[in-house]
Structure 1
Amino acid sequence: MATELEILGREDEGYPVAASLDDIEGALERAMLHLRGVHRIRELAFGIDPGPRPGVAWMGDGVLLGMAQLEHIEGVVDHIRTIEQAIEHKVSKVRIGNGAPLLRDHIINDCIAANFWMEEVNEAKTSKGLLRHNHVVSAVRIAMLRGRRVWEQRSITPTEGQLKEIQRRSRTISNGRKTISAELALAVARGELLIEEALSE
């Protein structure tokens, strides 16, 4: 890989891929696609298996191109945008499973704010036969299914059980040293704070 200036005039030497420090991930994605002979795609479809560490998969015209497990739901939009920019395509669609309602709705809201085409998929059968927490394989299955179009952001109203789960996670993350308050758990649930930020309050 090289900078854009370095590949000028050398386009006939293989398939040069321009890269910059700000776009390493995208450049690697482009290079891998070129190695696989993938150059033009009509539909780029993303599948998201929602969870604290969401699985993301991307397919080009029905062919699996890649998958990843992210560390936080906040990374979903940036990850999708990087892939979108790296792969030449005509249309893209983002599909998300309907499990983990609180996290799902956060991701949906973030994706709609980013102007992504959004669909919600019934993921009842996407985890069948999989080991628990195999989010990336579920994401592949979700990417392959057509879902119901989601047009609007959703109001996030966590249940008492969901708030308690956030508090439980805060204990786990802090190795039992701290449990965040119900008020901070609500802020985390609404996406106003990361759980790590709530722990430092």
Structure 2
Amino acid sequence: MRDSDLGGVVRRIAVRTDDFRLSFHLMRELKRRKCDFVMLSLGDNWGDVLLTSPEEASDGEIPATEDTIEISVERAIQAAKGLDTAVQLVFGIDPGPRPGIAWLADGKVIGNAQLEQIDSIAEHILGLSSAVKHQRMSVKVGDGAPLIRDRIINQLILNGIETLQVDEYKTSIGSRMKAHLHAATRIALVGGSRVYNLRELHPTDGDLKEIQRQSRILSSGNLTISTELARMVAFGELSIEDAIKRA
């Protein structure tokens, strides 16, 4: 693990499992997070942070499955840094078809990610938040992309998460490289207005055309979903993948 990326290392991370697929996914995620790590043979002992399968995990080791790769690696990173508790966790979200997310513990950036879709963003955040014990958690959502913003806000409120909306004008300064991740970090760092009520969704013609454009991209140009299917996607009644299957 690199100190420059993760703010100082207390312990090292290793992977040890006889599940080849799990091992591959863990290695890929650790590399994506720019972590140095060790691959162990099954008989090797390890006294620092260890990622393994639930069936192989002993006390103090971090279990992972193919469905929990990102969350398990996040837990390993925080354990390696010696960060196991925080007073406040704050997540920032830059809304868009592939939203950027950044998360802070007591004001310090500890991770970021870009998601491929918005349908399970609240569950994703709850999973990430389980990596660090905390007293309070809030999520700040940028005010761009109104339809996607409001769908995300509704997800968060329905999951009982403290939600704030942030004026993205305050976050507009910065590099274009990895723009969504930088914006998400800035959103997490600035103040916002608390949102208490669910938002009514009002997809525009432009929103529907954008969803149709995404369907063409995802289907490699083979089809464009109908306006009605696009409307169902806009309201969160269908994922865009399911809409393509129905088209």
Shared topology, TM-score over 0.5?
yes
**Which of 204, 209, 216 does residue 164 from structure 1 map onto?**
209
Are residues 1:117 and 2:162 paired? Answer: yes
**Which of 38, 55, 63 does residue 19 from structure 1 map onto?**
63
Q: Structure 2: where are the runs of 5+ without partners?
A: 1-49
Q: 1:26 to 1:176 in 2, by over 3 A?
A: closer
C-alpha RMSD of matched pairs (Å): 1.9
Q: How does 1:38-77 map to 2 (within 5 A)?
A: 38-77=83-122
The CA distance in 2 between the partners of 1:62 and 1:31, in whole Å, is 20
CA contact (8 A) 1:47 1:141 kept: yes
State the structure with bigger RCO (CA 8 A, min sep 6), 1 or 2: 1
CA contact (8 A) 2:62 2:76 kept: no
The CA distance in 1 between the partners of 2:201 and 2:57, in whole Å, is 47
Q: Deviations over 1:62-83 (max 9, x none)?
A: 0011000011011311221111
What amino acid is the match of 1:109?
Answer: N
The CA distance in 2 between the partners of 1:25 and 1:178, in whole Å, is 32
CA contact (8 A) 1:17 1:27 kept: no
The CA distance in 2 between the partners of 1:180 and 1:173, in whole Å, is 11
Give the match's secondary structure for 1:125.
helix
What amino acid is the match of 2:96?
Answer: G
The CA distance in 2 between the partners of 1:183 and 1:119, in whole Å, is 31
What amino acid is the match of 2:111?
Answer: G
Q: Deviations over 1:42-74 (max 9, x none)?
A: 010000000000001100000011000011011
Q: Structure 1: where are the runs of 5+ without partners?
A: 8-15
**Deviation at residue 5 of structure 1 after TM alignment:** 7.0
Q: How does 1:123-134 map to 2 (within 5 A)?
A: 123-131=168-176, 134=179
Match of 1:88 in 2: 133
The CA distance in 2 between the partners of 1:18 and 1:137, in whole Å, is 29
Q: Deviations over 1:133-165 (max 9, x none)?
A: 611111111111121001111111111121122
The CA distance in 2 between the partners of 1:154 and 1:192, in whole Å, is 15
Match of 1:6 in 2: 58
Q: Deviations over 1:99-149 (max 9, x none)?
A: 001111111111111110000000113232321761111111111112100
What is the aligned-residue identity percentage? 45
The CA distance in 2 between the partners of 1:5 and 1:132, in whole Å, is 39
Q: How does 1:132-171 map to 2 (within 5 A)?
A: 134-171=179-216
Give the match's secondary structure for 1:124.
helix
CA contact (8 A) 2:83 2:132 kept: no
Q: TM-score by structure 2 length? A: 0.73
Match of 2:75 in 1: 30
Q: What is the aligned residue count?
A: 193
